[in-house]
Chain A
């Protein structure tokens, strides 16, 4: 009885795994076929590896430049979020009183504001500040939109660091800012890793904000370049498009397979503390 149950469970899991991998597998398979070979038999293995699709997609999406833009935007955003949020979260958590409670509430409030509610006016403000159109500008916007959740996580984490440490350092003549840099920030590393992972995933996969902010194709992210390619072909030339889709998912899938333990831990921690 127990064995039958276990076998059933295994079958359900295998079916779910096949469903999950099916689109990726089908895309991979057909990205190596010419349009003709694909139409002939969409399910078969390719008879020879047609790499022309990949070469074309690599050039048309400006893969290297798009990847560089994405990495740059994510770096600016991530660095800013970590610096600003760790400072604010630490001090808000350590300072009792009405003012800090009010500021904290102001930040927390934003987790309930959907991005779509602010995006229209955000584009206007970004244009007025000349932030629109530049990759650095987009990174700065990510700091603004991502900082609140990070503060929330830092705020909770700081409570687990004993106050005696601060006091001992101050008695030894350590200034406020040095205390934060030398003593507190290193102790925040575990939660910083979680915050870095959560924000990297979000910024990397975000589509709407780059779509609204980046006006020149030279500044396009990987997602925007891929989307633009799709616009050019409609959905008629699948063999050209599939290779571009596979290329676009390659960096995240590699990143995931290398660091999956930390990614899953980051997500679980973020949800439980959030």
Chain B
């Protein structure tokens, strides 16, 4: 055996176990899903036929609930990307500025991240349906008396609040690590030149932590398109499907309501394409700026 061939054999031997699991549980479902999305299979019968892009066209033009869930998810994504990164960065900067109490604050802010949003969501459901109405009734904070879960206008914010509660800590830890990498002498030099705290942050710190921002925005973008747990435990998509995110719509199409297996897969592929394109564009745009700055 030549050395080159031997090397290939050894490579394949080392990669094989990983590739096997990956092929069976990720690649096969991905390609299988793409194939079935072009068929009218109901998931049970032996026979089905190709219908081309008909499922895609139906999902994007004739399925009001799916379109609604896309709109709702997009709104949610915008709120989450902006708020989650802004709050996480702010907390990171503030926590880092404390000398003695920073370990305490960091520990507290990260804690919700350890708790599944299924559990956290149920906990918050208790706050929204029982505690806040009680506080509104018995204290001066009567403005809290909202139908947080029953009214679509407020349940959107309930979902955002819970998602922020659960997600901000993770990004904060990433931003703290990034802030600690900014050389102290640069900030001191800026202060010597008469820059105030805000200007130092804007012109010294921010460019230095730009790579972390790329990651932070990528993570929130990628994560909030897939939001499921918080919505599932808080509102279940209701009232009247008004808070149904894409993931929940796909879940119900595939496992609850219809026997339209091919159609459910087409929706799943649309989700994939949207997440893929948007995260790719984001990475491309931000990486380009990273190099410049």
What is the interface of chain A, defined by CB distance below 8 A to chain B? 5-6, 9-10, 12-13, 16-17, 19-24, 26-27, 30, 38, 42-43, 80, 83-85, 87-88, 90-92, 95, 99-100, 103, 106-107, 110, 112-126, 129, 140-141, 143-145, 147-148, 151, 176, 180, 201, 204-208, 212, 223, 226-227, 230, 235, 238, 241-242, 245, 248-249, 252-253, 255-257, 260, 263-264, 267-268, 271-272, 274
Contacts and interface: CB of A to CB of B under 8 A. Distances in A.
A20 B11 contact: no
Nearest to A111: B222
Interface residues of B, number: 90
Given A99-B8, A253-B111, A268-B174, A23 B165 contact: yes
Given A16-B109, A107-B22, A212-B255, A264 B17 contact: no
B114 A43 contact: no
B272 A114 contact: yes
B89 interface: no
A103 B97 CA distance: 45
B114 A144 contact: no
A100 B14 CA distance: 11
Given A144-B22, A271-B174, A274-B215, A252 B114 contact: yes
A104 B272 CA distance: 21
Given A9-B94, A124-B29, A205-B118, 17 more contacts: A16-B105, A24-B115, A42-B134, A116-B228, A116-B251, A116-B268, A120-B264, A120-B268, A206-B116, A223-B119, A226-B118, A230-B233, A255-B114, A260-B107, A260-B110, A267-B173, A268-B174
A91 B14 contact: yes
A257 B109 CA distance: 13
B250 A92 contact: no
Per DSSP, chain A at the interface is helix
A241 B122 CA distance: 9
15 contacts: A5-B197, A13-B98, A13-B101, A21-B111, A27-B126, A42-B131, A88-B17, A91-B11, A100-B11, A103-B15, A110-B26, A114-B222, A151-B18, A235-B129, A242-B126
Contact of A16 (B91, B226, B228): B91
A227 B233 CA distance: 9
Nearest to A264: B173
B134 to A, nearest CB: 4
B109 A90 contact: no
A162 B166 CA distance: 40
Given A13-B105, A84-B18, A274-B215, A144 B174 contact: no
Nearest to B174: A271
B182 interface: no
Contacts of B27: 106, 110
A26 B173 contact: no
Nearest to A120: B254
B152 interface: no
A2 B217 CA distance: 32
B165 A114 contact: no
Contact of A92 (B11, B246, B254): B11
Interface stretch (B30-38, B48-56, B78-86, B200-208): B30-38
Contact of A208 (B131, B165, B228, B264): B228
B289 interface: no
Nearest to B270: A117
B123 interface: yes
Interface string B237-279: 0000000001100110011000001001100110110011001
Contacts of B94: 9, 12-13
Contacts of B250: 116, 119-120
Nearest to A201: B114
A126 B21 CA distance: 12
Nearest to B105: A13
